[in-house]
C-alpha cells in the first residue's frame, strides 16, 4: 500500500496547477514523491547486496540523515504463498533481530564542494545462515523509525531455473535513471521469480561525491515493487566509481584485502549459475589477473552457466578495447565462459560468439554496454564481431537473463522514447515543420517572447544540424564556427479544450537544449545552467531517438492564438563532429504522460545453448 499511496500522490501533483519548472535529463522532480524523504533517522535508501554466496548470506543496507544509535533489521522467513502484509511499525511478528555490523558517515569530498558536516550515515546488517531459495520478510529500524515492510529471496541451492536483470551506466540522466528503475520494478512484477539485479558499474558521475551516491540511492528505491519486493544487487565497479562511496554504499564488495584495493569477487547465484565480478580500474597485470587465472577453472568446474560482469569492454561497440583484453579474452575462451556483461559504451550490443579472434559457434558472447540512464551513443556496427546475427542499437535498457538446464535466454528490454507511446496525443507542431531560425549569432534578450519580431530570421524545416546525414536544414558552417542555434515556431490552440491534458515536447537532439513557451522556460536537457551565450555545462548527448517529456503546468501559459515555442540548441563544442535539433510539440492525456507508466519493448531476443560442452562432443 505504501507504493500505491505514492502513486496517488504523484497523480494529484500532476493534475494540480503549479508553476512551470525547467526539466531535463538531470530533473527527477516528477519522481520525488516516490522515494523516502531523507531526514532524521527515518530508514531510507534500502538495498540488499549480494557478494559471494547469496544462497545463505546477504547484506541489508540503508541510510539515515542523522547518525542515530540503534540500527537493526527484523527478519522472518515467509511461506511461499504468503503475501507481505502488516503495518510497518509492528516488528513483533518477526522471528529474529540483527544489529548493524557496520555504521558510519558518508565521506564528504571537498573537491566536489561538500562540506565537512555530516551528509548522512550508512548502515549494513550482514545476514548469514540463511536458507537457500527462501523468501525473507524484513523490517529496517533506526532509533524507533521503521521502513515499509520489505522482502527478498535468497538464491536457490540447485535444480531450479532462475532469472535476473543486468544493466550498467546509471551515472547521469536522472530522469531516465528513474524511468529505467521503474521498468525494473515492472519486470520484477511481471516475473515473480526474478532473482536479482546485476549492475555493470558507473553508478554515479563522480564516485568521490557522496551527494551523488545519496541521489542514486533515492532513485534505487524505485526498483522496489509495489508489494515491497527488493531485488538484491550484485555490483561491479566502473571507472567513475572511484573514492570511498562504492564501499560505503555496497558494504565493501570484493573484500579481498589485496594491496591494489580492487573489487572483484565470485557470486554463485545457485542453480548452476556463477558470475565473476571484475574490476577494470586496476592494472591489467597483478592480483586480479592471478585470481582470475585460478578462479575461472574452479568456477567452470562448478557451474552450468559461467558469466562475467565488469565495466570496460574487451569487444567494444563505441570505444577502444580495455587494457585487459589481451589477457582476459584468452582466459575466457580457454575456460568456455558462456556470457560476458560489459558496460561503458552507452549503447546496446550483442556480439557473435568469439574464439581466437574470429567468429566461432563455441566462442564467448559479449552483451551490454550500458543504458541505465546515461544518454545513448551511436554504436559502430562495422566491427567483424557485429556481422549478421549480432545486434547493435541504442536506448535506455536492461537485459533480462533466464537460465535453465539447457539454455540461457537473453532479452534486451528498451524504454520507448518516441511519441507513439502517447495514446490519444494531438500534434501542435509536426516533426519536420517549418521554423524560424538564427544561426551564427545571438538574438536580443526577449527573443523567446510572443512580441519578438523574427521576420529577419531564416526559415527552414526541422531537423537542424550537421554531421549525421539526416538533417533537413543542414548547418554546414556550424562546425568550428558556432555552438548554438535558436528556433521559433508559432501555433494556435484552445486552452479550454485541453482539460485533463498536458503539453509534451518530443525532441531528438545532440547535445543539449533549453525550451521556452511564450517567453517562459519550460524544459532543458543537457545544459546545466544559463541560457544563450551564458549557458554552461553542456553535456554530451547523441541524437537518433526522439525523447518525450511532459511540460508540467505549461498549459497555464497558453492563449488561443500566437503561442510561441522557442528552443535554443547547444553543441558541446564548436569542434564537435555533429549537431542535431529536431523538436515537435504534442498535447497528450495526463495518464499517458504519467512517468509511472513505462512502455518498453524487447529489441533483441537471443538464446544460448549449453555450448561450453560442445567442444567435448556432448
Alpha-carbon dihedral sign for residues 459, 462, 465, 469:
negative
Q: 139 phi and psi, to 5 degrees?
A: -130, 125
The answer for residues whose C-beta is within 8 angstroms of residue 456's C-beta and 6 or more apart is none
- CATH number (domain holding residue 185): 3.60.21.10
Q: Which is higher by pLDDT, 547 or 579?
A: 579
Q: Which is higher by pLDDT, 598 or 617?
A: 598
Name the percent of the chain lying above pLDDT 90. 70
Q: Which is higher by pLDDT, 310 or 496?
A: 310
Q: Same structural domain for residues 606 and 549?
A: no
- Least trusted range by pLDDT, from 2-6, 23-27, 114-118: 2-6
Please give the Cα distance from 577 to 175 (Å, whole number): 27
- Least trusted range by pLDDT, from 23-37, 86-100, 135-149, 439-453: 23-37
Question: Is beta strand 354-355 parallel, antiparallel or unpaired with respect to 358-359?
Answer: antiparallel
Q: What pLDDT does residue 117 have? A: 65
Residue 594: name the closest of 431, 429, 430, 424 by CA: 424
Q: What pLDDT does residue 610 have? A: 60
Q: State how far the alpha carbon of 552 is from the alpha carbons of 17, 181, 331, 335, 503, in Å.
A: 9, 21, 53, 54, 7
CB 356 within 8 A of CB 251: no
Residue 434: name the closest of 472, 476, 486 by CA: 472
Q: What pLDDT does residue 485 have? A: 98
Please give the Cα distance from 170 to 12 (Å, whole number): 29
Q: Same structural domain for residues 176 and 319?
A: yes
Strand partners, 76: 137
Please give the Cα distance from 263 to 248 (Å, whole number): 13
Please give the Cα distance from 93 to 77 (Å, whole number): 11
Average pLDDT, integer, range 167-193? 93
Q: What pLDDT does residue 112 have? A: 62
Question: Is beta strand 71-78 parallel, antiparallel or unpaired with respect to 96-99?
Answer: antiparallel
Model confidence pLDDT, tens digit, residues 331-344: 999 999 999 999 99
Residue 486 C-alpha cell reads as: 535558436
CB 373 within 8 A of CB 356: no
The DSSP call for residue 246 is H
- Least trusted range by pLDDT, from 88-97, 310-319, 374-383: 88-97
Residue in the structure block whose three cell numbers are 559457434:
361
Q: Identify the domain containing residue 49 by its residue range.
A: 35-416+601-616
Write down the mean pLDDT value for the chain: 88
Please give the Cα distance from 311 to 412 (Å, whole number): 18
Instruction: Please report which confidence band the pLDDT of residue 254 belongs to, taking 50, 70 and 90 as the band edges.
Output: confident
Alpha-carbon dihedral sign for residues 313, 316, 322, 328:
positive
Q: What pLDDT does residue 461 have? A: 97
pLDDT at 5 over 50: no
Model confidence pLDDT, tens digit, residues 117-137: 678 999 999 999 999 999 999
Q: Same structural domain for residues 402 and 472?
A: no
Q: What pLDDT does residue 595 have? A: 60
pTM above 0.95, yes or no: no
Q: Which spans in 251-394 are helix H?
A: 287-302, 325-334
Please give the Cα distance from 109 to 130 (Å, whole number): 37
Query: How many CB atoms are located within 10 Å of the residue 14 CB?
Result: 19
Q: Same structural domain for residues 352 and 405?
A: yes
Please spell the DSSP secondary structure of 518-545, one letter per residue. TTEEEEEESEEE--GGG-EEE-----SS
Please give the Cα distance from 473 to 437 (Å, whole number): 10
Q: Which is higher by pLDDT, 583 or 255?
A: 583
pLDDT at 6 over 50: no
Q: Same structural domain for residues 63 and 15?
A: no
pLDDT at 362 over 60: yes
CB 107 within 8 A of CB 116: no
Q: What pLDDT does residue 611 have? A: 54
Ramachandran area for residue 344 (φ above 0: left; ψ -120 to 50: alpha; else beta): left
Secondary structure (H, E, C), 45-64: EEEEECCCCCCCCEEEEEEE
Q: What pLDDT does residue 383 have? A: 98
Residue 518 C-alpha cell reads as: 511564450
Domains in the chain, number: 2
Q: Same structural domain for residues 323 and 400?
A: yes
Q: 476 phi and psi, to 5 degrees?
A: -75, -5
CB 587 within 8 A of CB 493: yes
Name the percent of the chain lying above pLDDT 70. 88
Average pLDDT, integer, range 188-199? 95
Burial class (CB in 10 A: 0-12, 13-18, 19+), 113: exposed
Q: Same structural domain for residues 312 and 441?
A: no
pLDDT at 26 over 80: no
Average pLDDT, integer, range 190-217? 95
Q: Same structural domain for residues 8 and 122?
A: no
Instruction: Please report which confidence band the pLDDT of residue 550 belongs to, taking 50, 70 and 90 as the band edges.
Output: confident
Strand partners, 538: 527
Q: Same structural domain for residues 382 and 410?
A: yes
- Least trusted range by pLDDT, from 114-128, 137-151, 516-530: 114-128
The SS3 assignment for 504 reads strand
Please give the Cα distance from 604 to 292 (Å, whole number): 30
Cα 20–Cα 209–Cα 281 angle in degrees, nearest 5: 125
The SS3 assignment for 496 reads helix
Residue 47: name the closest of 210, 175, 234 by CA: 234
Residue 425 C-alpha cell reads as: 496525443
- Least trusted range by pLDDT, from 143-147, 453-457, 531-535, 597-601: 597-601
Q: What pLDDT does residue 417 have? A: 67
Q: Same structural domain for residues 264 and 380?
A: yes
Q: Same structural domain for residues 380 and 515?
A: no
- CATH number (domain holding residue 429): 2.60.120.260
Q: What pLDDT does residue 426 have? A: 83
| Composition of the chain by helix, strand, coil, percent to 5 | 20, 35, 50
Q: Same structural domain for residues 547 and 574?
A: yes
Residue 462: name the closest of 378, 587, 541, 546 by CA: 546
Amino acid at each position: 500500500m505504501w507504493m500505491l499511496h505514492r502513486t496517488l500522490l504523484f497523480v494529484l501533483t500532476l493534475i494540480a496547477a503549479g508553476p512551470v519548472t525547467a526539466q531535463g535529463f538531470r530533473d527527477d522532480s516528477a519522481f520525488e514523491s516516490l522515494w523516502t524523504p531523507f531526514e532524521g533517522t527515518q530508514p531510507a535508501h534500502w538495498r540488499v547486496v549480494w557478494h559471494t554466496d547469496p544462497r545463505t548470506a546477504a547484506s541489508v543496507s540503508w541510510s539515515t540523515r542523522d547518525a542515530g544509535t540503534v540500527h537493526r533489521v527484523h527478519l522472518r522467513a515467509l511461506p511461499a504463498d504468503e503475501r507481505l502484509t502488516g503495518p510497518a511499525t509492528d516488528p513483533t511478528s518477526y522471528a529474529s533481530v540483527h544489529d548493524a555490523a557496520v555504521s558510519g558517515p558518508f565521506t564528504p569530498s571537498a573537491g566536489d564542494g561538500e562540506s565537512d558536516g555530516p551528509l548522512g550515515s550508512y548502515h549494513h546488517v550482514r545476514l548469514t545462515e540463511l536458507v537457500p531459495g527462501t523468501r525473507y520478510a524484513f523490517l529496517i529500524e533506526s532509533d524507533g523509525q521503521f521502513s515499509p515492510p520489505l522482502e527478498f529471496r535468497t538464491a536457490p541451492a540447485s535444480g531450479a531455473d532462475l532469472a535476473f536483470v543486468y544493466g550498467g551506466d546509471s551515472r547521469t540522466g536522472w530522469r531516465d535513471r528513474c524511468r529505467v528503475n521503474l521498468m525494473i520494478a515492472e519486470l520484477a512484477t511481471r516475473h515473480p521469480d526474478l532473482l536479482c539485479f546485476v549492475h555493470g558499474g558507473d553508478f554515479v558521475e563522480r564516485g568521490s561525491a557522496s551527494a551523488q551516491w545519496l541521489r542514486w540511492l533515492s532513485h534505487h528505491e524505485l526498483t522496489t515493487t509495489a508489494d515491497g519486493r527488493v531485488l538484491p544487487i550484485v555490483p561491479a565497479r566502473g571507472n567513475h566509481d572511484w573514492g570511498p562511496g562504492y564501499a560505503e554504499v555496497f558494504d565493501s564488495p570484493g573484500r579481498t584485502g589485496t594491496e591494489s584495493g580492487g573489487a572483484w569477487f565470485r557470486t554463485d547465484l545457485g542453480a548452476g549459475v556463477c558470475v565473476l565480478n571484475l574490476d577494470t580500474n586496476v592494472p591489467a597485470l597483478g592480483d586480479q589477473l592471478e585470481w582470475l587465472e585460478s578462479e575461472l577453472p574452479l568456477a567452470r568446474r562448478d557451474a552450468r552457466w559461467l558469466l562475467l560482469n565488469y565495466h570496460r569492454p574487451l569487444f567494444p561497440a563505441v570505444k577502444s578495447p580495455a587494457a585487459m583484453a589481451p589477457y582476459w579474452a584468452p582466459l575466457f575462451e580457454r575456460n568456455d565462459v558462456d556470457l560476458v556483461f560489459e558496460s561503458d559504451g552507452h549503447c546496446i550490443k550483442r556480439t557473435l560468439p568469439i574464439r581466437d579472434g574470429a567468429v566461432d559457434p563455441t566462442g564467448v558472447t559479449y552483451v551490454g554496454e550500458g543504458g541505465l540512464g546515461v544518454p545513448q551513443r551511436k554504436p559502430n556496427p562495422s566491427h567483424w564481431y557485429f556481422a549478421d546475427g549480432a545486434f547493435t542499437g541504442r536506448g535506455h535498457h536492461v537485459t533480462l537473463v533466464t537460465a535453465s538446464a539447457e539454455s540461457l535466454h537473453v532479452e534486451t528490454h528498451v524504454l520507448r522514447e518516441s511519441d507513439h507511446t502517447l495514446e490519444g496525443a494531438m500534434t501542435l507542431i509536426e516533426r519536420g515543420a517549418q521554423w524560424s531560425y538564427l544561426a551564427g549569432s545571438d538574438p536580443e534578450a526577449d527573443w523567446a517572447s510572443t512580441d519578438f519580431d523574427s521576420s529577419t530570421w531564416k526559415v527552414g524545416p526541422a531537423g537542424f544540424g550537421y554531421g549525421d546525414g539526416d538533417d533537413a536544414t543542414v548547418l554546414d558552417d556550424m562546425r568550428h564556427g558556432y555552438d548554438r542555434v535558436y528556433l521559433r515556431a508559432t501555433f494556435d490552440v484552445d486552452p479550454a479544450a485541453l482539460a485533463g491534458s498536458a503539453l509534451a515536447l518530443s525532441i531528438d537532439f545532440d547535445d543539449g537544449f533549453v525550451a521556452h513557451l511564450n517567453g517562459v522556460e519550460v524544459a532543458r536537457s543537457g545544459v546545466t545552467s544559463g541560457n544563450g551565450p551564458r549557458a554552461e555545462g553542456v553535456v554530451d548527448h547523441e541524437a537518433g531517438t526522439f525523447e518525450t517529456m511532459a511540460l508540467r503546468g505549461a498549459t497555464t501559459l497558453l492563449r488561443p492564438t500566437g503561442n510561441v515555442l522557442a528552443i535554443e540548441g547547444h553543441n558541446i563544442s564548436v569542434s564537435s563532429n555533429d549537431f542535431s535539433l529536431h523538436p515537435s510539440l504534442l498535447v497528450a492525456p495526463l495518464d499517458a504522460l504519467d512517468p509511472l507508466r513505462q512502455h518498453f519493448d524487447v529489441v533483441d531476443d537471443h538464446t544460448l545453448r549449453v555450448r561450453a560442452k560442445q567442444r567435448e562432443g556432448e
